[in-house]
């Protein structure tokens, strides 16, 4: 089925080339992948854009596969904006064929992207506020190139948002300051929080790697249970876009070692909370981490 959908997409893309869709309301028709990018583009584009996200809240972007209807949506777009850094792993072929697409990755600098021990690149750039500022700048540039008439508005929206993102970083730093050095360990289902850890002086441990494509192994769970017991870590976290099963087996493994670890509130990792902005969702995560670990 996947091959068929991609084949169909390729054919449609070939037939229509870079044909633009004329919106009756005069707004740009922007198609994005994740909920974080929907929020970002709506913020920078303001009244000049209609944003359609392929993925809704709670959807795992590592595993998302193109639906047949996505072809029409992508072709009708004036501009497609996606994360890149191999986040949309199953859409790579489709996105690469689009002429009207930009990635947030293209707004980053060399050295910004983190890698795991095996050299796999980490796509979760939205968990670094400094990198999300670069993503916002990239979106503003992309919209201005497409629609120079309104470039001043995109820049004004950008400047306002950059200040809000600086305020967010201050909020994060202040809130987390109550968690002492040796308690700054975040144990989660998959490795979404490396950028968060990197900017906020945390250590992260997870059951799955930086993508949810790989299965959790029992040896990883066992090693992690040893680590939690040894360091007496109070809480581990589940994530909104991932099944809590692996975290529950980790909790059981810790219990069998004679230590009790609680499961903290669900963190929003690869998708925003329903009807909440990026900034609001980030604050909810930080508050939950403070409640569990402070």
Query: In the complex, which residues of this chain contact Zn ion (CB under 5 A)?
Result: 192, 270
Q: Cβ closer to Zn ion: 85 or 293?
A: 85
Q: Residue holding tokens 């109550």?
A: 178
Which among 36, 101, 40 has a CA at the least distance from the CA of 74? 101
Least distance from Zn ion to the Cβ atom of residue 270, Å: 4
Q: Cβ closer to Zn ion: 82 or 154?
A: 82
Least distance from Zn ion to the Cβ atom of residue 20, Å: 33
3 state SS of 215: coil
Least distance from Zn ion to the Cβ atom of residue 95, Å: 17
Q: Cβ closer to Zn ion: 48 or 62?
A: 62
Based on its alpha-carbon atoms, the radius of gyration of the chain, rounded to whole angstroms, reads 20
Would you give the end-to-end CA distance of the chain in angstroms?
Answer: 48
What span, in angstroms and rounded, lies between the C-alpha atoms of 193 and 197?
6
Q: Cβ closer to Zn ion: 266 or 270?
A: 270
Least distance from Zn ion to the Cβ atom of residue 171, Å: 23
Least distance from Zn ion to the Cβ atom of residue 237, Å: 13
Which among 87, 74, 97, 100 has a CA at the least distance from the CA of 36? 87
Asked if 32 contacts 80 with a C-beta cutoff of 8 angstroms, the reply is yes
Q: Cβ closer to Zn ion: 83 or 100?
A: 83
């Amino acid at each position: 089925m996947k091959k068929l959908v991609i084949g169909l997409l390729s054919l449609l893309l070939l037939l229509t080339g870079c044909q633009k869709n004329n919106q009756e309301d005069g707004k740009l028709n922007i198609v994005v992948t994740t909920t974080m990018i929907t929020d970002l583009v709506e913020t920078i584009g303001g009244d000049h854009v209609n944003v359609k996200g392929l993925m809704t809240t709670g959807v795992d972007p590592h595993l998302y596969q193109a639906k047949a209807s996505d072809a029409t949506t992508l072709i009708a777009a004036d501009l497609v904006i996606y994360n890149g850094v191999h986040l949309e792993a199953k859409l790579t072929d489709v996105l690469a064929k689009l002429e009207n697409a930009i990635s947030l990755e293209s707004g980053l600098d060399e050295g910004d992207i983190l890698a795991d021990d095996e050299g796999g690149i980490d796509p979760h750039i939205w968990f670094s506020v400094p990198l999300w500022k670069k993503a916002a700048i990239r979106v503003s540039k992309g919209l201005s190139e497409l629609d120079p008439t309104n470039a001043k508005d995109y820049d004004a929206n950008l400047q306002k948002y950059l200040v809000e993102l600086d305020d967010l970083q201050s909020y994060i730093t202040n809130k987390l300051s109550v968690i002492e050095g040796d308690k700054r360990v975040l144990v989660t289902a998959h490795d979404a929080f490396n950028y968060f850890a990197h900017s906020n002086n945390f250590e992260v441990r997870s059951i799955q790697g930086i993508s949810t494509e790989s299965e959790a192994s029992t040896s990883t769970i066992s090693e992690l249970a040893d680590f939690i017991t040894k360091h007496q870590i109070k809480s581990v976290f589940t994530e909104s876009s991932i099944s809590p099963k692996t975290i529950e087996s980790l909790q059981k493994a810790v219990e069998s070692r004679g230590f009790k670890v609680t499961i903290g509130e669900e963190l929003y990792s690869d998708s925003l909370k329903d009807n909440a902005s990026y900034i609001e969702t980030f604050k909810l995560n930080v508050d939950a981490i403070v409640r569990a670990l402070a």
